[in-house]
Chains A and B, each alone.
Chain A
Amino acid sequence: GTSVVVYMVPQYSSIHIAAVVVSMFSTIICGFLFLLVVKRLPEHVQVDDPAVVKRLAKKLERQQIPLRSDYGYKVSLFSHLHQYSRKAPLTQLLSIPSTVIHPSIVRLGLQYSQGIVAGSNARSVALLHAFKQVIRDYTTPPNEELSRDLVNKLKPYISFLNQCRPLSASMGNAIKYIKKEISNIPSQCKEEEAKTKLLTCIDRYIEEKIVLAAKAISKYAIEKISDGDVILVYGYSSLVNNILCEAFEKSRKFRVIVVDSRPRLEGREALRRLVQRGISCTYVLISALSYILPEVSKVFLGAHALLANGYVMSRVGTSQIALVARTYNVPVLVCCETYKFCERVQTDSFVSNELDDPDDLMVTRKGKTQLENWQDVSSLGLLNLVYDVTPPDFVDLVITDLGMIPCTSVPVVLRVKNLDQ
């Protein structure tokens, strides 16, 4: 804001008028800048606003992407989010030899919506792989520049993937990077050269931000694992699994407790991979957490994204684990690559989240499905949340490829990253 200092002058002078005019202009300009800086709410958290939904439908129609309709009764607290059914894929509204959308993007969208590619690292790598195919098959139309046309080509694909499954923070950062790289292609560059350059950029991004970052994080994390440790992990995090396998190879003696939760039961896959290496593991469900925690010496958690105010966004249940661990004074270490750092600020799990298919909560045992007709019961709503946020006071350390930092240093890292770019 501006402060207007009024000088008491005995008569109106030009200085007085000039000061007032300048202060008025600066207020207007500051107000304008303020509006620019405050971003509008993204449309995927405004599903209960019909104007926003109409705008989205119009945009999709322009891009020739079908609109996926919401499914089932939504719990009122989360009615501002999308809820899709896995049994109604987006492909039933598309033509079969897909001409509008590149085939590898259609395949990717299917794999996202069916959960075949799950986990933020896997999703980002698959996305970049599909983009490589798109770039390889791309030809610049006449009178167009590659740097602008390719970005416009990618926009409907991104909308399509968003409809199949909401984009993750890591995917968003990867897309931003690619768009920047494409726009930076000089206009006199030949098409073949430009394409090879883009493909190598993508390869380098994956190599640096995902593969090498995992190696660096393992190196730091292994310093924190000592012999005789009992490590608790939650669900499946590719990074944490990587760390534990490498620590085991470096002959650290530890055992692992895998905590799992319904409906995804991803811990079973984590358990399988750890046991395959020969690590001794225990498996519990999250309801047994306070029973098992007295045995635990450290908790390693993976993250889906790290928000700008230090909150950790991860699979639903993580904040529970962090809370109970804090109660038992067990150190909580979060492992996260820097490309998952996000500029969003969130303090609760309600505003921005993802609602998965509510039918996943139905279980069939001995041929009987208990909740089969849940839609008929008017007072019953099924909620299948995917993410939750953990406050930084429950997290003791964040291990990133830049080193081991406290949770509150995340904005510093973001600022350094922006300066680099």
Chain B
Amino acid sequence: MELQAVLMAAGGGSRMMDLTYNTPKPLLPVGNKPLIWYPLNLLERVGFEEVIVITTKEVQKMISTDPKVKLDVKMKLDLVCIQEDADMGTADALRHIQQKVKTDVLVVSCDLITDAALHEVVDLFRAHNATLSMLMSKAHEFTETVPGQKGKKKTGEQRDFVGVDGTGKRLLFMANEADLDEGVVIRKSIMRKHPRMHIKTGLVDAHLYCLKKSVVDFLADNKSISSIRGELVPYLVRKQFSKSTNSPKVIDETHQNLKKNDSNISSRDEELLHLTQERSCWNDHRGDMSDAYHGGRLRCYVHIMDEGICYRVNTLAAYIEANRLAPKLFDEPAVHPSAVVSERCLIGADSIIGASCQISDKTSIKRSTIGVSTTVREKVKVTNSIIMHGVTIEEGCNIQGSVICSNAVIGRGADIKYCLVGSAQRIEPDGEHTTASPHLMSKACSA
């Protein structure tokens, strides 16, 4: 077996609490499919036959019992539950399943929506015998107005500095603005080996990593690393150039210790690999006297997508953008066949109507997503909005640029602009709500 897929679905969605306080993040509907369906579909399309899904007990229960959550995948899902309050990072979760990991792993996050060609990432991993290979994408500006946010998005997001070499494939430097005190510090040894480095800041990390099995074993021994993105990846990128890398280093030593009885086999094969590299006339760089890869044994690669869809749905803005673009990823008809849509309503071309909906006369639905089992009564105008499952919208409402969470009830004649209505909330009839604080919507009405 070459690669095992691991899907991390235990995240809390801490940056969009308004949406996730009732529905766990992996089951948020995007384009009327649960968020977790997108990475699972990606893995299935590429040819995986089984996936290890690390998730919470709540999600596991909802997947197995809730009929609205249909995953529709033919792969075998091996669900591993972890405690919600254990506050486990992604690396902790990998350590938790170390016994199940038998070969190299492909770690995917549940909030990734992409149509990337995965073979580019895996080819880098295979061809260069890399320790880490990851996917990144050029960030696109979010154009939709986010409900509850007045004015421009504040740049509170910390920037990531990613340094790649001249080919754009080898990862040389990775740091987050939060970890840097005054400026970007790059060691002279790296500059000597790679005199030309391109440092990019506008990249989105897709959280898709190919890791060697020895890295998982290394994690088992080093319990201080708890996040893949925050700690493990920068550590591996730094370790590429550390002085002890040319002699058997930490990761290889652990690997060799674990396979003591196979040591004579692997050493003979190592000799053959060394002979191949010696006889081959390929070098990854030119201009200095060193061998290919500068003799380094640990290599990290990145594939940067120029075009195509790649979103991580971890903020409200990303969620709205994803809902807009998700329909392009699958070929299902925009209006579900089981929805009851009356004839005198106007449904725009880029709207999606979920199963078992009831859309009454004289409604106008443009650029919106209507969830499963939603009832929309007469004379309602829905524009640029996301309506989740089980919502009831009474007559004469006008909903614009908003997100209505599941099981909410919008009273007759309400006028809602750029708001976020929480789950199971009721909006009084004839209310007028504009970009007010979203807390008013979700919490004040809960009484």
Contacts and interface: CB of A to CB of B under 8 A. Distances in A.
A115 B126 contact: no
A117 B122 contact: no
B272 A206 contact: yes
Interface stretch (B178-186, B274-282, B428-436): B274-282
Contact of A118 (B46, B49, B282): B282
Interface in A67-122: 89, 91-92, 94-99, 103, 106-107, 110-111, 114-119, 121-122
23 contacts: A91-B123, A91-B126, A94-B47, A95-B47, A96-B3, A96-B122, A103-B2, A110-B126, A111-B127, A117-B280, A118-B280, A121-B279, A122-B280, A125-B272, A125-B275, A126-B276, A136-B265, A203-B268, A238-B280, A238-B281, A269-B281, A269-B282, A276-B289
B2 A125 contact: no
Contacts of A92: 117, 119
A96 B119 contact: yes
B210 to A, nearest CB: 10
Given A92-B117, A97-B48, A121-B279, A268 B286 contact: yes
Given A96-B46, A97-B47, A126-B280, 5 more contacts: A107-B126, A117-B282, A125-B272, A133-B269, A272-B286
B2 A98 contact: yes
B283 interface: yes
Nearest to B117: A92
B127 A119 contact: no
Contacts of B289: 272, 275-276
A266 interface: yes
A394 interface: no
Nearest to B5: A97
Interface string B275-309: 11111111100100100000000000000000000
B445 interface: no
Nearest to B283: A269
B444 interface: no
A91 B119 contact: yes
B279 A114 contact: no
A129 interface: yes
| Chain A facing B: main interface SS | helix
A91 B2 CA distance: 14
Contacts of B279: 119, 121-122, 125, 238
Contacts of B118: 96
Interface string B35-63: 00000000000111100000000000000
A97 B3 contact: yes
A125 to B, nearest CB: 5
Which of B273, B276, B283 has the largest number of chain A CB atoms within 10 A?
B276
Contact of B276 (A110, A125, A275): A125
Contact of A95 (B46, B127, B277): B46
B282 A116 contact: yes
A125 B126 CA distance: 18
A304 interface: no
Which of B3, B280, B282, B289 has the largest number of chain A CB atoms within 10 A?
B280
Interface in B98-125: 106, 117-119, 122-123
A148 B342 CA distance: 67
Contact of A117 (B48, B119, B276, B283): B276
Contacts of A238: 278-281
Interface in A124-151: 125-126, 128-129, 132-133, 136
Contacts of A160: none
A270 interface: yes
Contacts of A275: 289
A114 B265 CA distance: 28
Nearest to A92: B119
A189 B48 CA distance: 37
A157 interface: no
Give chain B's interface residue range (CB within 8 Å of chain A).
35 or more
B86 interface: no
Nearest to A96: B46
B128 interface: yes
A132 B269 contact: yes
A205 to B, nearest CB: 12
B447 interface: no
B168 to A, nearest CB: 13
A236 B281 contact: yes
Nearest to A132: B269
Contacts of A96: 2-3, 46-48, 106, 118-119, 122
A129 B280 CA distance: 14
B369 to A, nearest CB: 31
A98 B1 CA distance: 8
The 8 closest A-B pairs by CB, nearest first: A95-B47, A122-B280, A236-B281, A122-B279, A103-B2, A238-B279, A129-B272, A110-B127
B76 to A, nearest CB: 13
Contacts of B129: 107
B3 A122 contact: no
Nearest to A276: B289
Contacts of B269: 129, 132-133
A128 B272 contact: yes
Contacts of B49: 97, 99
Contacts of A128: 272
B48 A129 contact: no
Contacts of A103: 1-2, 126
Nearest to B288: A272
A377 B126 CA distance: 37
Contacts of A236: 281
Contacts of B3: 96-97
Nearest to A202: B272
A266 B281 CA distance: 7
Which of A99, A114, A129 has the largest number of chain B CB atoms within 10 A?
A129
A97 B281 contact: no
A259 B1 CA distance: 45
B40 to A, nearest CB: 14
Contacts of B2: 96-98, 103, 106
Contacts of B119: 89, 91-92, 94, 96
Interface in B1-31: 1-5
Contacts of A98: 2
A333 B177 CA distance: 60
B98 to A, nearest CB: 19
A183 B410 CA distance: 77
A122 B276 contact: yes
A257 to B, nearest CB: 18
B112 to A, nearest CB: 15
A147 to B, nearest CB: 23
Contacts of A115: 282
Contacts of A117: 276, 280, 282
A366 B5 CA distance: 42
A236 B278 CA distance: 12
A129 B281 contact: no
A117 B128 CA distance: 11
Contact of A119 (B128, B280, B283): B280
A27 B379 CA distance: 96
Contacts of B48: 95-97
A275 B288 CA distance: 11
Contacts of A203: 268
B280 A116 contact: yes
Interface in B123-167: 123, 126-129
Contacts of A121: 279
A116 B127 contact: yes
A95 B119 CA distance: 9
A338 B192 CA distance: 42
